[in-house]
Amino acid sequence: MHVRELFDLTRRVAIITGGSLGLGRQMAEGLAEMGADLVLCARKKERCEQAADELRKLGVRVLPVACDVTKPNDIQSLVEETLNEFGRIDVLVNNAGISWGAPVEEMRLLDWSRVIETNLTGTFLCAQAVGKVMLGKHRGKIINIASVAGLSGTPAEVLQATAYHASKGAVISFTKDLACKWAPHNIQVNAVAPGWFPTHMSDWSIKNKQELLLQNIPQNRFGGKDDLKGAVVFLASDASAFVTGHVLVVDGGQSAL
């Protein structure tokens, strides 16, 4: 197969949770540019509808869906709407996530639980529901969005978000184990671990601690608007057919220090 065909996503169907803004929006655009039809879901459907209008200009079909990834009924409706519209699911990008800043000794159980429930349990619930469809077809790609925060700790003066660290570390372990479980079914399960990218979630830290953060990024810059596209397209395409259980780090060298 020609290498261009390996990366071609024409007529593939990709679900991107949290796909209306930030990193999810960037990855959705990358998949669409390679020909994939999209399902964008988030708690606020109007944001998905706005993003869908923009992405349809790339010549692909886009379905906006309201979905809270902590609610199994919402996820089941997401799967059903996708199958009704497209008849298939080829790719799942588990991108929906939240964070909460507080010192460990002051963090409320409620805030800890919200982060774990969204970032980890939401990833599990979506993978479980979509995975049942993929198991029946004996093929599929699941891409879990982790973080460099899941690879190591961070000094308190840089970031106070232990629940986020814990959730992303767990997503990495979940990715590796699920990859082993579903490899015999031709389902590849991988993770992307972004470093610091300007998003609504990272906005405060980047504005207030820019110099400190850049000291720990060898490329001396934050992630840009195109820096995740190639990673997600690779893991969504046939080019990664023999890659599973992998964590693809996109961080400008931060984790290499």
CATH hierarchy code of domain 3-250: 3.40.50.720
List, in sequence order, every residue forming a beta bridge with 17; answer none if it has no partner: 41
| Annotation marks residue 164 as catalytic | yes
pLDDT at position 146, please? Answer: 98
Q: Identity (one letter) of the amino acid at 104?
A: V
Determine what percent of the chain falls in helix, strand and coil, rounding each to the nearest 5.
50, 15, 35
The first and second tokens of residue 34, run together, are 């390679």
Cβ neighbours, 10 Å, residue 199: 17
Per annotation, catalytic residue among 12, 38, 148, 164: 164
List per-residue pLDDT tens for the chain, 257 residues long: 999 999 999 999 999 999 999 999 999 999 999 999 999 999 999 999 999 999 999 999 999 999 999 999 999 999 999 999 999 999 999 999 999 999 999 999 999 999 999 999 999 999 999 999 999 999 999 999 999 999 999 999 999 999 999 999 999 999 999 999 999 999 999 999 999 999 988 999 999 999 999 999 999 999 999 999 999 999 999 999 999 999 999 999 999 99
Distance CA 244, CA 255 (A): 21
The first and second tokens of residue 77, run together, are 């409706």
Domain ranges of the chain: 3-250
How far is residue 30 from each of residues 24, 38, 232, measured CA to CA in Å? 10, 11, 8
Helical segments of the chain, H only: 3-7, 22-33, 45-55, 72-86, 109-116, 122-137, 162-182, 203-208, 210-214, 229-236
